Amino acid sequence: MSEIAAIQTEAGATQAPQKTDEAVQQVALSVCIPTYNRARYLDNLLAELVRQIGELKFSYELLIGDNCSTDGTEEVVARYQDKLNIRYFRRPSNLGSDENLNRLYRSAQGKYVLYHADDDLPILAEINNNIGIFERNPGVGVIFAPWILHDLPTRQDVTTFYRQDDDYLIEQNDYSKLMVLVLSHHLFPEIYLARREVMNRLYFSAPEHAFYAFVHAAEMLGTSAVYFSKTPFYRSVTRYFDDETRSQAGNEQVKHAWDRYRGGLEYLFGKFSHTLPAAERPEWLNAINQFVLVRMKVALRLRTQEGGHWIDNYYIANRIRALGEAADLPAPYDLYRVNAAFEYITRLDPFKPESPRYATLRRAPLQVFHHAQGFAGTEFLVLDDDAVIPHHTIVVTPVPMNIPVPAGREVHFVSELEALAKFP
């Protein structure tokens, strides 16, 4: 793994060349925008592009793939047809997001292609610079970069999704250097500009068990050199309108995708692992494990901040503890145990189709569950007489107790001790 410092490139961003008659005749950049029932966002994106498109120094086309929307998407596009160079593809049926984008790539006529979400914003000055890099470096097929998280109502950049310390060039088929860069920077190659012929060789799919961006970057590297720029050319909008709140797709992915990250990294490792001496393989595998462990910690931190889904969060905390990292949990381990045990009790459904009520006994007050996040929002009857337990009631006690069930009533008993034992 000593290669980390060896992959800097001397290539840097250059000024874009002036357009020539030949360049005007051939489209330089195809911006591929898949969309489905997001007319409000698409309208704002196209309005922003009308205001900014003069900054782009190269010829372009916007390819909009409407995946059979049922809102006003078609009308929105029509309003901008005479203001932007748009090619509009309305799908007769919903193809799924991957195939919709795949067909846009296949329809592109530009020398270079860019995927663009219908609710994000390009940084056109940096796109100019990146096209300049392509023009000066014919062996480079893809340029990756971090992206900026942006609050549109305030026009404020919030942060960069990931950071890298320099620009890097990785020569074709040098998979080990790509792996080093990803592992050392926790880099996610999701935003990129590419030569159209590179995308034509790539089957655009999302593997179920492997993070697509690691898989696609490995495949791209098999066709050309790739360049990792430290300078973003893309803004991912976290808030588009004053009246909206929404979670970032990237953050949602982080909260769930650690095992897919492993699958993608192992796929990339498989591209060169057969060339390694057996003694070196454990070091690489350990580096993959450490990457995944860090991502699990990030996932658990985000999930803990949100609250809820405590059984799932317990499983993650349990795995982190099993890997010897209990000290790095974002909250005490017992918090996950108690909340998971309480969530387990409130998910019990012993009286189908009737919903249960919950009760405690005054003579046996609960010792633990009042610390659970959902306890205050769950109504508990406090019973003074064991003989008058209502029908369809779950009675929660601190420890197992031998309590006769009242005649003719369906009652379920469970203790804090028993529930916690399920989450050791």
pLDDT for the residue 248? 55
Asked if the model's pLDDT at residue 14 lies above 60, the reply is: no
Asked if the model's pLDDT at residue 370 lies above 50, the reply is: yes
- pLDDT tens for residues 308-361? 999 999 999 999 999 999 999 999 999 999 999 999 999 999 999 999 999 999
Residues 6+ apart with CB under 8 A from 98: 204, 205, 206
The whole-angstrom separation of Cα 350 and Cα 312 is: 22
The whole-angstrom separation of Cα 169 and Cα 228 is: 6
* Contact between 191 and 146 (Cβ < 8 Å): yes
- Burial zone of 311 (CB within 10 Å; 0-12 exposed, 13-18 middle, 19+ buried): middle
The whole-angstrom separation of Cα 417 and Cα 399 is: 5
pLDDT band at 25 (very low <50, low <70, confident <90, very high): low
- Burial zone of 309 (CB within 10 Å; 0-12 exposed, 13-18 middle, 19+ buried): middle
pLDDT for the residue 3? 37
pLDDT for the residue 243? 75
pLDDT for the residue 254? 84
Residues 6+ apart with CB under 8 A from 121: 45, 48, 150, 152, 234, 235, 237
The strand pairing partners of 236, in sequence order, are 149
pTM of the model: 0.84
Residues 6+ apart with CB under 8 A from 15: 128, 129, 132
The whole-angstrom separation of Cα 32 and Cα 423 is: 47
pLDDT for the residue 8? 35
pLDDT band at 1 (very low <50, low <70, confident <90, very high): very low
| Residues of the chain above pLDDT 70, percent | 91
Structure tokens given for 91: 């799908």
Asked if the model's pLDDT at residue 188 lies above 70, the reply is: yes
Asked if the model's pLDDT at residue 151 lies above 70, the reply is: yes
Q: Rounded mean pLDDT of the chain?
A: 90
Do the strands 234-239 and 411-415 form a parallel or antiparallel pair, or are they unpaired? Answer: unpaired
* Contact between 247 and 151 (Cβ < 8 Å): no
The whole-angstrom separation of Cα 1 and Cα 179 is: 10
- Residue 140's identity, in one-letter code, is V
The whole-angstrom separation of Cα 42 and Cα 79 is: 11
The strand pairing partners of 112, in sequence order, are 29, 195
Query: What b/e sequence results for 101-113 when a residue is b if at least 16 CB atoms lie within 10 Å of its CB, and e otherwise?
Result: bbbbbeebebbbb
Which domains, and CATH codes, for the chain?
A: 2-239 (3.90.550.10), 249-338 (no CATH), 343-421 (no CATH)
Asked if the model's pLDDT at residue 5 lies above 70, the reply is: no
149: phi then psi, degrees, rounded to nearest 5: -85, 130
pLDDT for the residue 249? 55
- pLDDT tens for residues 203-227? 666 678 999 999 999 999 999 999 9
Decide which of 68 and 26 is more confident.
68
* Contact between 35 and 59 (Cβ < 8 Å): no
Closest CA to 289 of 331, 315, 258, 268: 258
Q: Which H or E run contains 122?
A: strand 121-122
Kindly state the average pLDDT of the residues 110-122.
96
Do the strands 140-144 and 148-151 form a parallel or antiparallel pair, or are they unpaired? Answer: unpaired
- pLDDT tens for residues 233-289? 999 998 888 776 655 555 677 888 899 999 999 999 999 999 999 999 999 999 999
Structure tokens given for 154: 């305030």
The whole-angstrom separation of Cα 262 and Cα 196 is: 29
Closest CA to 202 of 213, 187, 191: 213
The whole-angstrom separation of Cα 261 and Cα 214 is: 8
| Residues of the chain above pLDDT 90, percent | 82
Structure tokens given for 299: 């996932």
Kindly state the average pLDDT of the residues 8-31.
53
